[in-house]
Amino acid sequence: MPSLGLPIYGQKTALETRRWKSLDELEARTAAEPGEFPEGAAETPEGLSRRGFLQVLGASVALAGLQACKPPREKLVPYVRAPAAVTPSVPVAYATAASEEGYAVGLVVQAHEGRPVKIEGNRLHPASLGGSDAIRQALVLELYDPARLRGFTREGRALAWSALLQEIAALGREHDKDGGTRLRFLVAPTSSPTLGDLRRRVLERFPRARFDTWSATGEGAQRAGAAIAFGRPLDATYDVAKADVILSLDSDFLAVEGEHLRHAREFASRREGDRMNRLYVAEPRFSVTGGMADHRLRMRGLEVAAFARAVAAELAGAGLAGLGPLGAHGEGERVKVARAIAKDLAGARGRSLVLAGARQPPAVHALAAAMNEALGNVGTTVHWRAPVLLDPRAGADSLRELAGELAAGKIDTLVVTAWNALHTAPADLELRKAFGKVKNSMVLALREDETVRAASWRLAASHPLESWGDLRSRDGTVSIVQPLITPLYESATEIDLLAAFVGEGDRGAWRLVREGWRARSGAPPAPLPLAGAAAAANPVDTNRPRRPDPYDRTWDEWLAAGVLTESAGKPEQVAADLGAVGDALGKLPVPAGGIELGFAPDYKIWDGRLLENAWLQELPDPVTKLTWENAAHLSPATAKRLGLASGDLVELARGGRAVVAPVLIVPGHADDAVTVALGYGQQVAGPVGKGVGFDGYALRTSDAPWFAGGAELRKTGKRTDLAVTQGHFSMEGRAIALALDHEELGRAKAELDEHRGEAPTILEPVDYSDRTYKWGMAIDLSRCIGCGACTAACQAENNIPVVGKEQVLRSREMHWIRVDRYFEGPAEDPKSVTQPLACVHCEMAPCEYVCPVNATVHSDEGLNEMVYNRCVGTRYCSNNCPYKVRRFNFFDYHGDVAPTLQMLMNPDVTVRARGVMEKCTYCTQRIQRARIDARVGGKKIGPDEVVPACAQACPAEAITFGNLNDPRSRVSRKHGDARRYDLLHELGTRPRTAYLVKLRNPNPELA
């Protein structure tokens, strides 16, 4: 079969058919041998032998004195039967998908000897285009979480899967009697066709049962808005690349909402060159998208609707008369702004885009839809499609109904597969109380949480990387979810569980998915096995010949690509009902006075489901740089008015509910508003999430899911230390992260020349121009959205430890690449620049000449090499590093790691010992792999072949890497760009990482 050209370490790997075939077989075995997974490698995986490293050190303490002091000889453990897909020491990549609010995000997962280690985006998938984000990067850590729920219990009794099936069958027979009247399912939103089939079949068997879909986050408001405007719920997909002018009405579309990875890539593609787009953002809190705005208009969340109407009114004045009835002129300064925006939008008909945020009420979405239609954007920048979600109308209402039934004792069996409903449910539904009244509460979950603990049946869920399944993206493209590893613990997927309710629990998700798609694709049924005594006697023996099945090939192609080609749906023709939109707008409540309380999904732990993920906990929030907790965000002026400082603990109260929260002052936040990230403060948490943050859901009610007036902040007089990784957000007037208006770039050459080019030196710089490779990086600040995907990707690729809140408070975080955020201008309403900063590989590296033991020296290709095993840990290099990008192992961070977490280690990267300095290596392991592969094949490494983890993850393609001696490479072009400058050029360090000035494209009318 043809190579699909998916990149792994810059090497072209043909995803051969047999790779997943062996996984199929593994899956087939799973039922028989639950909990067992194949021996990792033909040789002991490197990660497992890391302890040997410490032993070696110990031995060198003893001066290698005696034979007896040497570590015992290692064992070499080969396979008994070598799987065809695995070559020990060569990683293989598989395409799969993960769910985000029920939609697919295509992934390519790299596995070493059967251990998934690194996740990348799938270039072929519309929701990724090859980019990924921190949450997707961190999924692999979730897989290996030693605190995951294991096995199945009913009222404390451990059950094997087969026993569980019997008990579910018995339960089903009970409910058969009344057609499932007293049976309910509380599920998460999903687009999985297989789950759709199963739900249908469950409802066929139990016609009076019901599936209620609940997600605390998600984009229900958009579908509801479409329902207002077009009479039916529709999903919008945006072609951001085609938009010249974008108005975001509180939509964080670059980092959170919709197909944000694709949005970011398309948006970034319009942030350089002459066709720059222009972004207006109206929002209450400073978001990632807000940081990219050319004009950011801070306003309280409930004021956004009025502002949208003001823009609509001005649009009507600018020739889109149809919007007239929907508009309402604003007041004061906003009029001018709205007029300028409207003029800009109207001047870009068919090339503009209005987005409403998921936190805005449906009416605002309906208005945005109407504006897009009036601007002629439908069909160019906006596409409407029938939703692929199984239950597009789901929302708090169905949960309320369910809560009522539960409270009334009308339900005997509640099957919960939605994540931690007791934690996330609106506080006014009192679901916690009602939940206890159910006789059989059955919860399928990845880890123990509040809902699991309250349940009588506790079922461990398989991780997505252990599961078979299927998902669709917003445009309908189907992805098969395939496992990378057999489940580490006895667990089941949602497919398995629902299948159990229709008596097919023993078929296994693989068959259900595969055979379901055979039917859907119209392939002929599977041929019967060859007749004969041998085949009958040994059905598992896969070496026996089988009849050819043409579907095998189709299926394998789907798996290899990660998408079912041409499975996308067609956009629908729509016509907005402006009257309905107007009515809905008219019913919007008038924003109340006082302080507005806003909620937001967390950039890292989402709705809270990733609370136990230490990588994400330690990842600095993209905007505030806060780690390991959430806080009540306030604007500087509001904090001043209330006499509060960052770190003050306040009692945050609304409508008789209160929590204690630390205050964090965020520049650019709307005044008289407080924003709280959801998901923290969970009552039941594992070792990572225990006691982390406060529970925002406790204040959230179903009538005001995102914004509510009348919040109160009361001082408690106590303080806490907030673990913020960046204490200083001002550049202090220094030229660090440079930003210019697009117009200014031409005039700024002389100014920029001061920050690039040759610097005077008495040392003759080494000439690298005659080397085959001269590695270099370029970071385009104009593209960078500051999301932190690079940080997480680097953490996963390079075995970077997590240090915990205490150590972050001591400024000991270990991230090799950090994303600095600087605010410029007034603290109340600043502009922002984000700057990813890792080792810049100075040619005249200050760190090198101070190292007493030559542990950090220069390679012939100009890499600043950090040799861990030579390092004695003077930390002198860090002192002399002007960029402060070196990280020190203050403790033995890897000393006592759970066995599953050892499986997470990338065997191509040394696990660093205590007392050793470390830093970005430009992913040298990928360079070396590419080099060896190229040289074995007698070739040269291609100009853009080596892609470091950060560049690979970056959804905005802000980071480019390659050979500077090859003029064809992208990085060479970036280094020659007019916007290129060197960070701290005046020090003469000759960094190999060049930065490109961030460009802004402000509206001259608003200057």
**CA 418 to CA 797: how far, in whole Å?**
31
CB-wise, 517 or 883, nearer to another protein?
883
CB-wise, 531 or 762, nearer to another protein?
762
Q: Closest distance between another protein and the C-beta of residue 6, in Å?
A: 19
- Closest by CA to 819, choosing from 990, 959, 917, 997, is 959
Q: Closest distance between another protein and the C-beta of residue 81, in Å?
A: 5
Q: Closest distance between another protein and the C-beta of residue 894, in Å?
A: 11
Q: In what order do the strands lie in the sheet with 210-213?
A: 157-159, 152-154, 457-460, 440-445, 413-416, 183-187, 210-213
Q: Closest distance between another protein and the C-beta of residue 41, in Å?
A: 8
CB-wise, 580 or 844, nearer to another protein?
844
Q: End-to-end distance of the chain based on CA atoms, in angstroms?
A: 57
Angle at alpha carbon of residue 764, lines to 759 and 766, rounded to 5°: 100
**CA 895 to CA 51: how far, in whole Å?**
7
**CA 179 to CA 168: how far, in whole Å?**
15
Output the six-digit token pair for 899: 């066995």
Q: Closest distance between another protein and the C-beta of residue 869, in Å?
A: 4
Q: Closest distance between another protein and the C-beta of residue 763, in Å?
A: 6
In this structure, which amino acid lies at residue 909?
A: V
- Closest by CA to 921, choosing from 993, 983, 849, is 993
CB-wise, 477 or 910, nearer to another protein?
910
- Closest by CA to 328, choosing from 294, 305, 358, is 305
CB-wise, 629 or 908, nearer to another protein?
908
State the sign of the Cα–Cα–Cα–Cα dihedral 287, 215, 97, 564: negative
Classified as helix, coil or strand, 356 is: strand
Q: Closest distance between another protein and the C-beta of residue 880, in Å?
A: 5
**CA 908 to CA 928: how far, in whole Å?**
10
**CA 465 to CA 840: how far, in whole Å?**
34
CB-wise, 655 or 882, nearer to another protein?
882
In the block, tokens 């402000």 appear at: 1002
**CA 610 to CA 82: how far, in whole Å?**
36
Query: 400: exposed, middle or buried (C-beta count within 10 Å: 0-12, 13-18, 19+)?
Result: middle
Output the six-digit token pair for 844: 């005249």
- Closest by CA to 127, choosing from 100, 150, 105, is 105
CB-wise, 685 or 785, nearer to another protein?
785
In this structure, which amino acid lies at residue 59?
A: A
**CA 297 to CA 669: how far, in whole Å?**
10
Q: Closest distance between another protein and the C-beta of residue 65, in Å?
A: 7
CB-wise, 383 or 818, nearer to another protein?
818
- The DSSP 8-state label assigned to residue 664 in this structure reads E
Q: Closest distance between another protein and the C-beta of residue 988, in Å?
A: 9
The continuous run of DSSP H or E covering 820 comes out as strand 818-824
Q: Between the CA atoms of 163, 169, 170 and 174, what dihedral angle is there, to the nearest 10 degrees?
A: 160
- Closest by CA to 980, choosing from 846, 759, 782, is 782
Q: Between the CA atoms of 991, 997, 998 and 999, what dihedral angle is there, to the nearest 10 degrees?
A: -160
CA 411 to chain centre: 36
CB-wise, 156 or 852, nearer to another protein?
852
CB-wise, 504 or 824, nearer to another protein?
824
Q: Closest distance between another protein and the C-beta of residue 784, in Å?
A: 14
**CA 425 to CA 217: how far, in whole Å?**
11
CA–CA distances in Å: residue 192 to residues 219, 469, 786: 17, 7, 32
**CA 396 to CA 426: how far, in whole Å?**
8
Non-local CB neighbours of 162 within 8 Å, separated by 6+ positions = 506
Output the six-digit token pair for 208: 């009076």
In the block, tokens 């031995």 appear at: 59
CB-wise, 87 or 162, nearer to another protein?
87
Q: Closest distance between another protein and the C-beta of residue 901, in Å?
A: 17
Max alpha carbon distance in the chain (Å)? Answer: 91
CB-wise, 658 or 736, nearer to another protein?
736
CB-wise, 700 or 931, nearer to another protein?
931
State the sign of the Cα–Cα–Cα–Cα dihedral 326, 706, 419, 174: negative
Classified as helix, coil or strand, 109 is: strand
In this structure, which amino acid lies at residue 314?
A: E
In the block, tokens 């080609």 appear at: 565
CB-wise, 57 or 407, nearer to another protein?
57
Output the six-digit token pair for 473: 């993206």
Q: Closest distance between another protein and the C-beta of residue 477, in Å?
A: 35
CB-wise, 406 or 838, nearer to another protein?
838
CB-wise, 720 or 878, nearer to another protein?
878
Classified as helix, coil or strand, 579 is: helix
Q: Closest distance between another protein and the C-beta of residue 741, in Å?
A: 23
The continuous run of DSSP H or E covering 514 comes out as helix 509-521
Q: Closest distance between another protein and the C-beta of residue 714, in Å?
A: 29
CB-wise, 353 or 784, nearer to another protein?
784
- The DSSP 8-state label assigned to residue 324 in this structure reads G
Q: Closest distance between another protein and the C-beta of residue 723, in Å?
A: 12
Q: Closest distance between another protein and the C-beta of residue 964, in Å?
A: 16
- Closest by CA to 389, choosing from 102, 653, 16, 67, is 102
Q: Closest distance between another protein and the C-beta of residue 924, in Å?
A: 5
CB-wise, 79 or 489, nearer to another protein?
79
Q: Closest distance between another protein and the C-beta of residue 48, in Å?
A: 10
